[in-house]
Chain A
Amino acid sequence: KAGVTQTPRYLIKTRGQQVTLSCSPISGHRSVSWYQQTPGQGLQFLFEYFSETQRNKGNFPGRFSGRQFSNSRSEMNVSTLELGDSALYLCASSLASTGRYEQYFGPGTRLTVT
């Protein structure tokens, strides 16, 4: 069974631009979560989608948004990029939207904002 895939793997953007990251979950998984990883703040939860609905949201500004499609694929969008948005963005998929199911992580998209 194929794992979680994320595209693109690397991205360089300029401050003020917007970016869209894509995540394809493991087949059969309906929950997709997004995390931001930075050296200073560590791993922080952005949001979770289940059956095309946002179920949970972390403490990030409204510039960070996401959506999920009927095939469970998910996209994350960051508008008006800031230098501090440079990070590794990780997507994780899970069978269901309860805490007991493990999340399977993709390799991440490394975003650099200049």
Chain B
Amino acid sequence: AQSVTQLGSHVSVSEGALVLLRCNYSSSVPPYLFWYVQYPNQGLQLLLKYTTGATLVKGINGFEAEFKKSETSFHLTKPSAHMSDAAEYFCAVSARSQGAQKLVFGQGTRLTINP
């Protein structure tokens, strides 16, 4: 079974500052990992994903995440926050098996950007 823990339900940073959103996962099999963003009254948009290969994954809007197996982590970072980054961010895990298209989400982290 898979599970995801996002540390910090609310994160506030200043515009131009580093964004760090933490995600730890638990999985009995090698995981696929995803970060999604949700803006108010909208669905989820994929930021980036890790499946295999390079552990540092680059996504859209300047975000990146690093898969660290030893720490069971997949933290999301962005070097310089922009006002438009204010949204809710979800980390998710799915299992590596056929017929298992099921995402398990963390509780989400609401990111606020201060001018």
Contacts and interface: CB of A to CB of B under 8 A. Distances in A.
23 contacts: A33-B102, A43-B90, A43-B103, A48-B102, A56-B99, A56-B100, A56-B101, A58-B102, A97-B99, A97-B100, A98-B97, A98-B98, A98-B100, A98-B101, A99-B96, A99-B97, A100-B96, A102-B34, A102-B49, A105-B43, A106-B43, A108-B42, A108-B43
B51 to A, nearest CB: 5
A23 to B, nearest CB: 11
Nearest to A6: B43
A79 B22 CA distance: 38
Nearest to B6: A42
Interface of B: 32, 34, 36, 41-46, 49, 51, 90, 92, 94-108
Contact of B101 (A103, A105, A108): A103
Contacts, number: 77
Name the prevailing secondary structure of the A interface residues.
Answer: strand
Interface string A84-101: 000000101010111111
Contact of A56 (B34, B102, B105): B102
